[in-house]
Amino acid sequence: MRESTARGSAHVIVVGNEKGGSGKSTIAMHVIVHLLSMGQRVASIDLDCRQHSLTHYVNNRRRWSARQGLRLRIPDHYSPARAEGDSVRLNEEREFAGFAEAIAACERTADFIVIDTPGNDSYLMRLAHSMADTLVTPVNDSFVDFDVLADVDPETLEVQGVSHYARMVREARRKRRIVDEVLIDWIVVRNRIATLDTRNNQRVAGTLGQLSEQLGFRVGEGICERIVFREFFPRGLTALDAIEEEALGSRPSLSHLAARREIRRLIEQLRLPVDERGKRRAEARRMWIESCREPLELGDILAR
C-alpha cells in the first residue's frame, strides 16, 4: 500500500462518510463520468461489501447502454468480496487481499482510482482514507448528519468538539503525511440542500465554515435535493450524460439542467489533476463518435 501512493501512480479519490444515505455513491459516479468524459483512464472500487451501491450503479449503466444502444463511458470496476467467517482477523485479511488485488490491477494503468466507502467504520474504510489524494465527504444538510463531524452547542451552535469520523480522517491525514509527506485534500460537500433558503441552511453553512478552519478542509458547493438524482440510478445515468430523451428514457426537464450545473460547479472545486493527454484522448473519441453518426458516402464505400 505504501507503493500505491508513490509518485507516478494513479490519483486516488475517496468518497467517504461514516454515515449511510449521505449520497456517496451518487457523487462517486458523477466524478467517474466526468473524468471519463475528460479522456482519463478511470478505475472504480466499491468497498461497501454489503450494499454494493456503486457496483449496482455501474452495472445499471452497462445494461442501459446495451439496451438503448448508447455509447456510455464505463470505468474498470472492482468490488472486493465480503468475508463472512467467524474470525474478525481472518475476515480482515481476506478483505485486505481482495482490496490489494484490485489496487494492484489498476494503479499503474489508470489515471484516477475512485473508491466508494461504506457508511460504517471498518478496517478497509480506514485504509482507503489513508490512501486518498482527494477525499470527498458529502454531508446531508442537517445537524443530524453534521454530528459525524462535530458536536455543537444546542443554543449557540458553536463547535464544542470533533466527532468520530473527523477524528478518523485527521488520523488518516497524519499517517499519510508520514508516508510520503502528502496532505490529503479534504472537501466536505453539503448535500440534499433545500431549494428554498432556510434558517437551518444558514446555520449548517455557518457551523461548517467554522469547523473547516479547525480541521483544515474545504467546503464544496452544495447539491440541492432533486428527484432526478434518484431517477438516474436505475439506468446508471448521471447529470453529466447527454440530456436527450433517448438516453434518459423520459423527457428532460429544467431540473436536469440545474443538476448538471451544480455537479459541474462542484467538480471544478475538487481541482483534480486532469492532464492534457487525457483531454486529447477525449477530443479524439468525440470526433470518432461524431464520424460514426454521419452516413457513409458512396466514394468512401468504394474506396474500401
Q: Which of these ranges, 115-129, 188-202, 206-220, has the smallest mean pLDDT?
A: 188-202
d(CA 233, CA 76): 18
pLDDT band at 303 (very low <50, low <70, confident <90, very high): very low
d(CA 158, CA 179): 34
Q: What local confidence, expressed as pLDDT, does residue 150 receive?
A: 92
Q: What local confidence, expressed as pLDDT, does residue 290 receive?
A: 57
Q: What local confidence, expressed as pLDDT, does residue 55 receive?
A: 97
DSSP assignment of 206-273, as one string?
HHHHHHHHHHT-EEEEEEE--HHHHHHGGGT--TTS---HHHHSS---HHHHHHHHHHHHHHHHH---
CATH superfamily for 3-275 is P-loop containing nucleotide triphosphate hydrolases (3.40.50.300)
Q: What local confidence, expressed as pLDDT, does residue 301 receive?
A: 40
pLDDT digits (tens, 9 = 90+) for 162-199: 999 999 999 999 988 888 888 899 999 999 888 766 77
Per domain, the residue ranges of the chain are 3-275
pTM above 0.95, yes or no: no
pLDDT band at 289 (very low <50, low <70, confident <90, very high): very low
**Average pLDDT value for the chain:** 85
pLDDT digits (tens, 9 = 90+) for 8-44: 589 999 999 998 888 999 999 999 999 999 999 999 9
pLDDT band at 302 (very low <50, low <70, confident <90, very high): very low
Helix (H, G, I), strand (E, B) or coil at 133: coil
Q: What local confidence, expressed as pLDDT, does residue 300 receive?
A: 46
**Of 78-92, 118-132, 282-296, which has the strongest mean pLDDT?**
118-132
DSSP character for 3?
Answer: G
d(CA 245, CA 226): 18
- Residue 113: strand pairing partners: 12, 43
Burial class (CB in 10 A: 0-12, 13-18, 19+), 230: exposed
The DSSP bridge pattern shows strands 159-162 and 112-116 to be: unpaired
d(CA 281, CA 182): 29
Longest dimension (CA), the chain: 80
Angle at 32 between CA 138 and CA 11, to 5 degrees: 85
**The length of the chain, given as a count of residues:** 304
